[in-house]
Chain A
Amino acid sequence: MTMPLTGSTFSGHASPWFSRVAVAAVHFFLLILFLQNVTVDFWSAIPGFVFIHAYSAIVLVYWSRLDQTPAGDTVIVTLTLEFVLIAILFWDSFSAWPWSTLFGLALVQICAFAAVRYWSELRQAPYSAWFGLIVILIYIMVAATAPIIAPFGETAIVGAEYDEWSDKHLLGTDNLGRDMFTRLIYGGRNTVGIAFMTTVLAFVLGGLAGLLAAAMRGWMDQVLGRTVDTLMAIPSFIFALLILTIVGTSVPSLIVVIAVLDATKVFRLARAVSMNVVVLEFVEAASLRGEGLWWIIRSEILPNILPPLVAEFGLRFCFVFLFLSGLSFLGLGIQPPTADWGSMVRDNATLITYGDITPLLPAAAIALLTIGVNFVVDWFLHKASGLKD
């Protein structure tokens, strides 16, 4: 029997405080040097930030082998100060697109931090998982900074209908003369954003209900279980079409309807895996101690069912995504003029007859993200199941 190495092995060699200050100082020096040499064009500044953070990340990765926590603290402190600095220096860009610039910046920094924190696991990740992670990151980045990188406005008509690919219109124009490249970027933002929110809502609803059913059993299990059975008995696509026709197709109603339909599947998974945990003795010990339902659900069961739930989250996200695009294709999803990948395929479908692949690009974007997410999910499942090669 071998014990995994623990922090205590290195506890005698914690990195001294001045080395932490040194890295922070170098970090700020690079940053100030960089800020003096860039124009106010914010988009071009981002690669520079990536570089600076990559540098800090590499140093901290080396550190984290010695002593993880102070390194993490340094990153958090450094990033917070930097945020303030940038906000002051680039006030113009912030006031133009405050949310997307903030989000884009935060994203780079979160990535740097997460990479440091989970480096030991990332290092062992297979290439497919790296590919998936990078694809997902690029999508999120593009979605977040859409107004900055898109050359035109989302709904602006900027040229002739069905224009060819050109320097001005990178991917041509669509059936109303709107820039295809711009629409593709904004479409990512709308479709991915709505799919993400829907999946989160589905997991909150379904996961909580599943945990409740497993922990309480008895009548609660029966009521929830039969309700879910009833919802699942109706084909979900037709059910969604029906409800959306009745309540109208606004973004919130779209999110709620798809989330409720998807929550049924999450419920069944959460209940099934929780059931395996509920019968274990530590749950019995907790209930003998007199613990309440919330403690048992949150502290005893949830941490033990998290790996399958996270894996399911990735898969479910893809399904929601496809479901949403399917609804859009039928005209009941995200409504025009908002850009959306599903409806973009439909709007420009006539071009396919002429051998033009432009209408298929949104479909390819969907496919690429789905593959990326699945690669990451596969990796996660592999890790969670403890399989060895």
Chain B
Amino acid sequence: MSESKTRDVLLNMHGLRIEGRSDEIWQEIVHGVNVILHRGEVLGLIGESGAGKSTIGLAAMGFARDGCRISGGTIMFDDVDLAKASDDSLRLLRGSRIAYVAQSAAAAFNPAHKLIDQYCEAPVQHGIMPRAEAESDAIDLYGRLQLPDPGGIGFRYPHQVSGGQLQRAMTAMAMACRPDLIVFDEPTTALDVTTQIEVLSAIRDIVRQFNTAAIYITHDLAVVSQMADRIMVLRHGNLVEEGETRGMIEDPQKDYTRDLLSVRSFRKEISREPDPETPLLRVENISAAYGKTPVLYNVSIDIHRKRTVAVVGESGSGKSTLARVITGLLQPSEGHVYYDGAPMPPDHRKRNKDEKRRLQMIYQMPDTAINPKQRVSTIIGRPLEFYLGLRGGDRDARVRQLLEMIELDPDEFFDRFPGELSGGQKQRICIARALAAEPELIICDEVTSALDQLVAEEILKLLQRLQDELGLAYMFITHDLATVRAVADEIVVMLQGEVVEQGPKEQVLTPPHHAYTELLLSSVPEMDPDWLDNLLEQRAN
């Protein structure tokens, strides 16, 4: 890293304890963690959700979320104890000397104001520079962050720029007062892999240019190894392991860190040859449009029994629209969907019960995919009643069986509400609901993208086991190539509504690739601290 870096301590959190309130009881969620950050250093905080990494990141600004409080320890920021500082003195520091970049820039920007107006607010409010100067400074920073049209982009509203651009504009905003410390809270988690690279390199360059110290929070070890000088692994509010990035990646000391490192190692066993018989689902020359905007062009896919077909693409590539056409929520303008050789009515309301039963769907967001006011027994029991006519004791017994199948304890979970479940447990319930219908084909729409990596891997293993046991076919929609590598038998790569490449996994994943497949493949972060440098160098040539 840069030689100019001074080694004096900027932030020293000692014995930090944070409590959160649930049911009127304060429970400790961070148990005495020590964090030391030097000037110009980038520290990575990593762990699954609930590890307390965001809570610690916010505590670095002397801030505790609603329902949380800092209950012990000191937070020394340049000789000021933020844990004891008054609101007024904190207000002076925040925005000017400590800045924060949130996970979802789209939600963090105020949609009613132009980007540059929001940029100028902090420097003008803190009296650091007048408005005109702030504006020209913003344009300079937009340029350094490689935003297109730096002179004009600030005069747009947040909804008029893309997610990746918005995240960079947010980073520029955090830089506005040239703070000593920036807290990045999962800034690339919501982005596509290809966009993620742009944002990562922009953030890294700007932090180096201004010798800013940063805390980088993420659950992706591959990402953090590109960004951080030093990594702290957290779990359940405790420190698991701390060390220099390179050392930790090459030689982790603790089992948990090794688990995180090997998280993407799961691979499906040898893929079988497709049965020669008629495919279970045949999508033939489908074109579809939302209103007058075409989104799918001439897409054809075959899915055979007991096989997993992965549909890959960035957001906007039409992969979810394809699922909507297959399920009958959107009528195609051309083409047909055949199930087991017979054409299916394009409108789902015209399909009969059995056609619906055989084709089930699992959604991306388990939070919204199950009714928060229904108990687990109702969520899973309803398809049993509806499709199979099971009632009373038979139904309950089958629900318990299904809960066992998805590796949840029936006695514990039978009567729970979704609000009492974790994200991974909710997704398991969604899987059980789909299984209850005894389907032949399940469409999995980004089922792991809302989950932590370790949890996601468990879900993938579960789905794989169910496929082996029950002979299910999956259509796996995802933007994550690691998932594809793990579970797919066949791969369909989509770009802007068209299929650019499709075939068996080995064929698609071995060179020569289509240019777009190559771009997608090379954009998946690897557990190598030099990966981003090498990649950027390679692409520059």
Contacts and interface: CB of A to CB of B under 8 A. Distances in A.
- Bound pair: A and B? yes
Interface of A: 1-8, 124, 280-282, 284-285, 287-291, 299-300, 303-304, 388
B23 A288 contact: no
Interface string B412-437: 10011001101000000000010001
A139 to B, nearest CB: 31
A7 B416 CA distance: 10
B368 A280 contact: yes
A299 B374 contact: yes
Nearest to B20: A2
List the 5 closest pairs (A to B, CB-CB), nearest first.
A303-B373, A1-B50, A281-B369, A2-B22, A282-B371
22 contacts: A1-B49, A1-B422, A2-B22, A2-B27, A280-B368, A281-B369, A285-B361, A285-B369, A287-B348, A288-B361, A289-B356, A290-B351, A290-B353, A290-B356, A299-B371, A299-B374, A299-B378, A300-B371, A303-B371, A303-B374, A304-B371, A304-B372
Interface residues of B, number: 42
B329 interface: yes
Interface string B257-272: 0000000000000000
Is chain A's interface secondary structure helix, strand, loop, or mixed overall? helix
Contacts of A303: 371, 373-374
Given A124-B24, A300-B371, 19 more contacts: A3-B420, A4-B22, A6-B415, A7-B415, A8-B412, A280-B368, A281-B363, A281-B368, A281-B369, A282-B369, A285-B363, A285-B369, A285-B433, A287-B348, A288-B356, A288-B361, A289-B437, A304-B372, A388-B21
Contacts of A6: 415-416, 420
A288 B22 contact: no
B291 interface: no
A202 B512 CA distance: 68
A19 B365 CA distance: 46
B412 A304 contact: no
Given A4-B22, A290-B386, A282 B49 contact: no
B96 interface: no
A289 B386 contact: yes
Contacts of B50: 1
A112 to B, nearest CB: 25
A304 B50 CA distance: 27
A303 B49 CA distance: 29
A46 B114 CA distance: 67
A4 B386 contact: no
B412 A388 contact: no
A165 to B, nearest CB: 48
B290 to A, nearest CB: 15
B371 A291 contact: no
B327 interface: yes
Given A4-B22, A290-B353, A303-B371, A284 B329 contact: yes
The winner among A4, A287, A288 for most chain B CB atoms within 10 A is A288
Nearest to B409: A8
B370 interface: yes
Nearest to A277: B371
B276 to A, nearest CB: 31
Contacts of A388: 21, 66-67
Interface in B319-377: 327-329, 348, 351, 353, 356, 361, 363, 365, 368-374
Contacts of A291: 386
Contacts of A5: 23
B57 interface: no
B275 interface: no
A47 B383 CA distance: 51
